[in-house]
């Protein structure tokens, strides 16, 4: 079966070209399960078949699900939780995982290092990670709807493939569990009667080496509502483009940062726009700046300006944990040179 995709493209000279691409859909792509005799025959006929396949007798790794099942992962689970996916099957790690083509391509485009680590896992036949080419299977390929974002389309493609697997393996009494931390994706999956769960919930109910596996969870990216899912230790830095635009428009200033010798939570910035150095207070506002760094900064409202602290603070075994307490940001009161 052939699907035709057409779109218009404007050249540099102003001409409009109609581009037509052919998308081939096949009915001879196997599910990869050793329990499925029909698909095993298809795989044996495929000269480019994979080294690994899904076990004929999968087990439930988590007490949340009693029936034997295969696991389908979405893209963000792989990007955020690659450490736990690398845990071997002997240590109680994930096995019998279906990696959809949609997910594999997204990972490749978004992170080359993680893509390489994932390919290493897939290449291990003892892990039973199987790549399913859902984008070329006639029953799992979907087109992007009008007004639908690429991310929403890919999430829908993942749900469609998971639903096909569920229906395909139902006679074999093997279930499918979709693991995703996207609450909207889980909700839509459950609406079509798919089993869907977050990574933290699944791992915390695993039957082997649960403490070690929980330690490997990237809990800042797990999407959990628990105590651990707080903000990052420091605010994210602006991109170079945002900094350059801010300096040009006057919203940001640039100068050299110097750390206080008497207070590790204070520093000052020498900026040509002002006569006096600008005072920065609080670890969050210092934001990982090191003495001598060229930094960009933004002024607070004048009502928040103040003078330097008179106490001496030493950094002895200081450990703020996973989050920072609320810290005030103060500045010397000064006037720009242009106002004098």
Phi, psi values for residue 266, rounded to 5°: -130, 155
Average per-residue pLDDT in the chain?
A: 83
Q: What is the pLDDT of residue 318?
A: 47
pLDDT band at 160 (very low <50, low <70, confident <90, very high): very high
Q: Looking at the domain assignment, is residue 9 inside a domain?
A: no
- What pLDDT score was predicted for residue 328? 44
pLDDT score at 322? 47
pLDDT of residue 75: 95
92's torsion region: left (phi>0), alpha (psi -120 to 50) or beta? Answer: left
Sequence-distant (≥ 6) Cβ neighbours of residue 165 within 8 angstroms: 31, 70, 72, 98, 132, 176
Note the pLDDT tens digit of each residue in 233-285.
677 788 888 888 889 888 899 999 999 888 888 899 999 988 889 988 888 88
Pair 170, 246 in one domain: no
Average the pLDDT over each of 54-68, 127-141, 155-169, 216-230 and give the range with the smallest value.
Answer: 216-230
Instruction: Based on the fold, state whether residues 73 and 176 are members of the same structural domain.
Output: yes
What pLDDT does residue 314 have? 52
Query: Within this chain, do residues 145 and 183 fall inside the same structural domain, yes or no?
Result: yes
Helices (H), 27-81: 37-45, 75-80
Alpha-helix runs per DSSP H in 174-277: 183-191, 199-204, 210-215, 240-249
Residue 238: the pLDDT is 83
Q: Are residues 209 and 284 in the same domain?
A: no
Whether residue 232 is predicted with pLDDT greater than 90 in this model: the reply is no
Distance of CA 170 to the CA centre of its chain: 31
Plot region of 288 (φ>0 → left; ψ -120 to 50 → alpha; else → beta): left
Residues 113, 211, single domain; the answer is: yes
Say if 5 falls within a structural domain.
no
- Determine the Cα–Cα distance for residues 200 and 213; give it in Å rounded to an integer: 10
Q: For residue 47, give its domain range.
A: 27-221
Tokens of 305: 């300006």
- Domain assignment of residue 203, yes or no: yes
Model pTM? 0.63
- Does residue 78 sit within a domain? yes
User: What's the whole-number mean pLDDT along residues 321-327?
Assistant: 47
Q: Give me the phi and psi of 256, to 5 degrees please.
A: -100, 130
Residue 180 and residue 312: Cα distance in Å, rounded?
48
Rounded to 5 degrees, what are φ and ψ at 325? -70, 170
What Cα–Cα distance (Å) separates residue 142 from each residue in 113, 132, 138, 157, 160? 29, 15, 9, 6, 8
Question: What are the pLDDT digits (tens) for 192-231?
Answer: 999 999 999 999 999 888 889 998 888 765 554 433 344 4
- pLDDT for 38 equals 86
Residue 172, in any domain of the structure = yes
- The pLDDT, as a whole number, for residue 220 is 66
Residue 12 confidence (pLDDT) above 60: yes
pLDDT at 309: 58
- For residue 116, is it within any domain? yes
Task: Give the model confidence (pLDDT) of 45-100 as tens digits.
Answer: 766 667 778 999 999 999 999 999 999 999 999 999 999 999 998 898 999 999 99
What is the structure's pLDDT at 230? 43
Instruction: Write down the pLDDT at residue 227.
Output: 39
More confident residue, 2 or 197: 197
Structure tokens that stand for 282 in this block: 């609080």
Report the distance separating Cα 82 and Cα 121, nearest Å: 10
Quick one: what percent of the chain has pLDDT higher than 90? Answer: 49
Give the domain CATH number at 246: 2.40.50.690
Spell out where the chain has E strands: 2-10, 16-24, 69-73, 97-100, 129-132, 175-179, 195-197, 253-259, 266-270, 278-281, 294-297
- At residue 310's C-alpha, the angle toward residues 308 and 314, to 5°, is 100
pLDDT of amino acid 96 = 96
Joined together, the tokens standing for residue 287 give 């934001």
End position of a domain, from candidates 163, 187, 221: 221
On whether both 54 and 190 belong to a single domain, the answer is yes
Q: What is the mean pLDDT of residues 176-181?
A: 96
Q: Are residues 254 and 154 in the same domain?
A: no
Residues 6+ apart with CB under 8 A from 194: 159, 162, 163, 166, 176, 178
Instruction: State the Cα angle at 48 between 44 and 51, rounded to 5°.
Output: 75
| pLDDT of 137 | 93
Residues 301 and 205 grouped into a single domain: no
């Amino acid at each position: 079966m052939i699907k035709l995709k057409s779109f218009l493209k404007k050249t540099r000279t102003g001409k409009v070209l109609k581009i037509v691409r052919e998308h081939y859909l096949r009915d001879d792509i196997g599910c990869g399960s050793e329990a499925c005799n029909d698909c095993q025959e298809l795989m044996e006929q495929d000269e480019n078949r994979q080294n690994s396949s899904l076990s004929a007798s999968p087990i439930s790794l988590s007490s949340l699900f009693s029936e034997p099942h295969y696991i389908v992962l979405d893209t963000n689970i792989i990007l955020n939780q690659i450490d736990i996916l690398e845990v071997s099957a002997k240590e109680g790690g994930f096995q019998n995982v279906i990696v959809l083509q949609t997910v594999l391509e997204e990972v490749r485009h978004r992170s080359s290092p993680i893509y390489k680590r994932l390919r290493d896992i897939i290449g291990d036949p003892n892990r039973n990670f199987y790549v399913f080419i859902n984008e070329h299977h006639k029953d799992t390929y979907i087109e992007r709807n009008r007004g639908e974002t690429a991310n929403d389309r890919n999430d829908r493609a993942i749900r469609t493939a998971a639903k096909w697997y569920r229906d395909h393996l139902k006679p074999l009494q093997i279930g499918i569990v979709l693991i995703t931390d996207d609450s909207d994706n889980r909700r839509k999956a459950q609406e079509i009667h798919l089993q869907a769960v977050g990574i933290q919930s699944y791992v915390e109910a695993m039957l082997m080496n649960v403490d070690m596996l929980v330690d490997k969870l990237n809990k800042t990216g797990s999407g959990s509502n628990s105590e651990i899912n707080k903000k990052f230790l420091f605010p994210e830095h602006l991109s170079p483009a945002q900094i350059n635009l801010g300096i040009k428009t006057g919203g940001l200033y640039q100068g050299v940062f110097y750390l206080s010798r008497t207070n590790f939570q204070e520093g000052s910035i020498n900026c040509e726009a002002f006569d006096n150095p600008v005072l920065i207070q609080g670890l969050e506002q210092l934001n990982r700046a090191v003495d001598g760094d060229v930094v960009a900064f933004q002024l607070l409202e004048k009502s928040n300006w103040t003078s330097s602290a008179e106490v001496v603070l030493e950094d002895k075994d200081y450990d703020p944990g996973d989050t920072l307490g609320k810290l005030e940001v103060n500045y010397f009161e000064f006037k720009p040179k242009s106002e004098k």
